[in-house]
Homo-oligomer: A and B are copies of this chain.
Amino acid sequence: MSNYRPLSEAEAIEYARQIPELFSPGAELVSREIGDGNLNLVFHISEPSTGKSIILKQALPYAKVVGESWPLTLDRARIESEALQIEESLCPDLVPHVYAYEKDLALTVMEDLSDHVIMRRGLIEGNRYPLFAEHISRFLANTLFFTSDLGMNQQAKKLQQGRFINPELCKITEDLIFSDPYRDADTNNIEAHIRDAAEQIWTDNELQLEVSLLREKFLTKSQALLHGDLHTGSIFIKPDSTKVIDPEFAYYGPMGFDIGAVLANLLLNFAAQEGWSKDASSRADYRQYLLQTVRDVWTGFERSFRQLWTESGVDVMFSSEAYQNHFMSELLKDVFGYTGAKMVRRVYGLAHVADIDKIEDTAARERAQRIALAIGTTLIRQHRKAATIEEMIDIAAKSVS
């Protein structure tokens, strides 16, 4: 850490110039800092004469969220670059290529994805991505299977798990998802008009027991190398391409957490259609598209995952059909629980989602918030009884009927 310093734009250009076989020697390079400055510096470096470009992402030694600032380990840059490289080895078309990682500067040089948009924005704009379900379910199946005891050498997995011990970033998740929303914590960010709903959750002992079980699994179930923050703001997309970015929360945890993150963010957008759709018909139509995507993500995941298992399973004790069926059915329960937990915290916890917060009409925003809470709490409450993805779709559909 002694050599760490935040780069200036000129330094970023100098650094980029040294990457072999990228820019023309002596070329004029242009840099723009495009990060939001809360966690990282993000430099977009381009060579106007050829159109070539790359991203330099440098971790800052602190995090700023809603005005608060707290120190945050630079080791997350190592975790992010190593996770990206593992993901690239398993599904090269679905993550940005990493050109270089510089430990002292907490700096990762990666493929520029400026021709993509952040998926959250794409969904808010009402776009459809017909390839998304296939892409993300393949990403999930490959990264979760091949980093788990099902698909990789089990001794190598233990060593890999040791390299992804990630206490500081896990604590952010533990606090913001599995603790603070369930009590009157200072970090919560509650609009006055839905405070009653939050207060009800704080005294709901049955719901809290289910959340405790999800928290316990997040803390102890070392199943696979997770992305750890797989919301639609961590996905770059265009019609023919999906790229998962920003795995700085990567650690060994329960597979259902990553899958649930994807589904939760689809369902948050489903709730947010109260404020975005032009009329009832287009609203119903777009919601149908989102629910079909939820279905396709799970069924695509399950199909790919089972196929990988059958073709590439490494453990004879895990090779029976009965065990595979049991595993998938337990995993779906986790998915329900984590989908729900990921939704609740986005309504009145510290960090919201633009899908809901950017709805200007207060009444529509409140409706979206209450729909999101209704879906989220129902999924949490019922997660240990969940048996098919259709139940999740029914819960969502009923919340707006």
Residues of A within 8 A of B (CB): 149, 154-156, 158-159, 161-162, 165-168, 170-171, 174, 178-179, 182-183, 205, 208-209, 211-213, 215-216, 219-223, 315-318, 320, 322-323, 326-327
Contacts and interface: CB of A to CB of B under 8 A. Distances in A.
A208 B155 contact: no
Given A215-B317, A317-B178, A209 B155 contact: no
Contact of A208 (B162, B178, B220, B317): B317
Contact of A183 (B165, B316, B322): B316
Given A220-B223, A223-B220, A317-B215, A167 B149 contact: no
A232 to B, nearest CB: 27
A163 to B, nearest CB: 9
A320 B165 contact: no
A155 B168 contact: yes
Given A212-B320, A215-B318, 16 more contacts: A149-B216, A154-B167, A154-B174, A154-B219, A155-B170, A156-B167, A158-B170, A178-B317, A205-B322, A208-B317, A208-B320, A209-B320, A211-B317, A212-B323, A213-B326, A221-B221
Q: Closest 5 A-B residue pairs measured CB to CB? A: A155-B167, A162-B165, A158-B167, A212-B323, A149-B219
19 contacts: A149-B219, A155-B168, A155-B171, A156-B167, A158-B166, A158-B167, A158-B170, A162-B165, A179-B316, A182-B317, A183-B316, A209-B322, A212-B320, A213-B323, A213-B326, A215-B317, A215-B318, A216-B327, A221-B221
Q: Among the interface residues A213, A221, A317, which one has the most CB atoms of the partner chain B within 10 A? A: A317
A162 B160 CA distance: 10
A213 B325 CA distance: 12
Contact of A209 (B156, B220, B223, B326): B326
B154 A220 contact: no
Given A165-B159, A168-B155, A318 B223 contact: no
A211 B318 CA distance: 10
Nearest to A167: B155
Contact of A220 (B159, B166, B221): B221
Nearest to A155: B167
A222 B223 CA distance: 10
B221 A179 contact: no
A221 to B, nearest CB: 6
Given A317-B208, A317-B212, A326-B213, A171 B159 contact: no
A343 to B, nearest CB: 18
A213 B156 CA distance: 21
Contacts of A162: 162, 165
B179 A216 contact: no
Contacts of A208: 317, 320
Contacts of A222: 220-222
Most chain B CB atoms below 10 A, which of A182, A220, A222, A316: A220
Contacts of A178: 317
Contact of A165 (B149, B161, B171, B213): B161
Contacts of A322: 205, 209
Most B C-beta atoms less than 10 A away, residue of A168, A222, A320: A222
Contacts of A159: 165, 167
A171 B326 CA distance: 24
A149 B221 CA distance: 12
Nearest to A209: B322
Contacts of A315: 215
Contacts of A212: 317-318, 320, 323
Contacts of A167: 154-156, 158-159
